[in-house]
């Protein structure tokens, strides 16, 4: 009888849940509606900027060159990343914090998937800076359109296959009692910590995925060591500056993307004492800043895109 009572107590204390609660910004709940204004502006600007980049490159035949195909794939990844977190707008605009477990797991898959795709694109672009510096005259013949699309497709498939097990491993877990997430969107590391069943597989595979994405940043750093060595081997100072100028925008994109993601992954896996506000701000930077800044960086840096955008705006104004 006593054993039956214990089993009943355990069963009633572990009520399985089907919805999670997303968190806004702790301590600023009363001004969420005002915070939604800059967030909505950033969200719309990021979506508009990436759509404009894709439209200009698609419609201008003069931009059908290798470097702009890379920018198109980067813009697609940014656009997908921007469209993966509508829950943020729901929280700040309507105070709607609930999200179903299935929707949360789906959102987690798309966020990690598009993050992996963008990481892969930045890695490919870093490798392709070398022929642009070392042999710029033969750059277009070395990197043909078919080669670029082939590489992009292979790396995108790799990124999708890498994160594909994540939703299945999360779906097999049981979630009871705890249902408050640490961010206003769903991340794998955050969701698995709410499970009341064994989540060791999720932890180690999530760590493996994080290390794979971090390894992209290591390979990018190594590629730029070789790029810098090549630049320093150029005799003329003017040619050195020109060669470095070729990859400045890409270096900015790499820093904008990898600094917050590596910081967030490191804190999730290794930090013992975490500041909720710091975690949320880093998570904001992880999802909002790259899709917003990449179109601005490349539009300012690439005079070809800037000129074409201004031409289209001037034609519409007439």
Provide the Cα torsion 300, 306, 312, 315; round to 10°: 100
Q: Render the burial of 246-260: b for 16+ CB within 10 Å, e for the rest.
A: bbebbbbbbebbbeb
What Å distances lie between residue 175 and 20, 214, 234, 275, 296, CA to CA? 9, 29, 60, 24, 42
Name the nearest CA neighbour of 306 among 77, 57, 21: 57
Contact assessment for residue 267 and residue 261, using Cβ atoms and an 8 Å cutoff: no
Contact assessment for residue 32 and residue 95, using Cβ atoms and an 8 Å cutoff: yes
Tokens encoding 88: 């943020």
Contact assessment for residue 22 and residue 184, using Cβ atoms and an 8 Å cutoff: yes
Name the nearest CA neighbour of 139 among 69, 85, 66: 66
Beta-bridged to residue 99, according to DSSP, are 20
Distance, in Å, from the CA atom of 289 to the CA atom of 268, rounded to the nearest integer, reads 20
The pTM of the full predicted model, rounded to 2 decimals, is: 0.81
Distance, in Å, from the CA atom of 109 to the CA atom of 237, rounded to the nearest integer, reads 47
- pLDDT in 10s for each residue of the chain, 318 residues: 334 333 433 444 556 677 888 877 777 777 777 887 888 888 888 888 888 888 888 887 777 777 778 888 888 888 888 887 777 777 777 777 888 888 888 888 998 899 888 888 888 888 777 666 666 656 666 667 777 788 888 888 888 999 999 999 888 888 887 788 877 788 888 888 888 888 888 888 988 888 888 888 888 888 888 877 777 776 567 666 766 666 777 788 888 888 887 787 777 667 667 777 777 778 777 788 888 888 887 776 666 777 777 776 665 555
């Amino acid at each position: 009888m006593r054993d039956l009572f214990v089993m009943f107590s355990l069963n009633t204390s572990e009520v399985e849940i089907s919805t999670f609660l997303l968190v806004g910004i702790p301590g600023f709940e009363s001004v969420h509606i005002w915070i939604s204004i800059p967030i909505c502006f950033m969200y719309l600007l990021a979506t508009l900027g990436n759509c404009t980049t894709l439209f200009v490159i698609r419609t201008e035949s003069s931009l059908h060159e290798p470097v702009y195909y890379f920018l198109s794939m980067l813009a697609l990844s940014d656009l997908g990343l921007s469209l993966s977190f509508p829950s943020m707008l729901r929280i700040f605009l309507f105070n709607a914090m609930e999200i179903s477990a299935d929707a949360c797991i789906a959102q987690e898959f798309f966020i990690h998937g598009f993050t992996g795709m963008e990481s892969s694109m930045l890695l490919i672009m870093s490798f392709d800076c070398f022929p642009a510096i070392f042999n710029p005259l033969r750059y277009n013949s070395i990197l043909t359109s078919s080669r670029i699309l082939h590489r992009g497709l292979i790396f995108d498939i790799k990124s999708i296959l890498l994160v594909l097990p994540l939703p299945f491993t999360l779906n097999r877990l049981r979630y009871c009692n705890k249902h408050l997430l640490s961010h206003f969107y769903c991340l794998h590391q955050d969701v698995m910590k709410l499970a009341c069943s064994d989540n060791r597989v999720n932890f180690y595979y999530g760590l493996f995925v994080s290390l794979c994405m971090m390894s992209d940043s290591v390979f990018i750093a190594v590629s730029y060591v070789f790029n810098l060595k090549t630049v320093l081997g150029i005799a003329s100072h003017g040619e050195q500056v020109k060669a470095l100028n070729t990859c400045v925008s890409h270096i900015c994109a790499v820093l904008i993307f990898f600094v917050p993601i590596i910081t967030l992954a490191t804190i999730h896996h290794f930090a013992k004492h975490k500041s909720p506000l710091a975690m949320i701000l880093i998570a904001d930077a992880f999802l909002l800043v790259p899709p917003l800044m990449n179109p601005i960086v490349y539009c300012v840096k690439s005079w070809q895109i800037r000129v074409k955008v201004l031409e289209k705006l001037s034609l519409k104004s007439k």
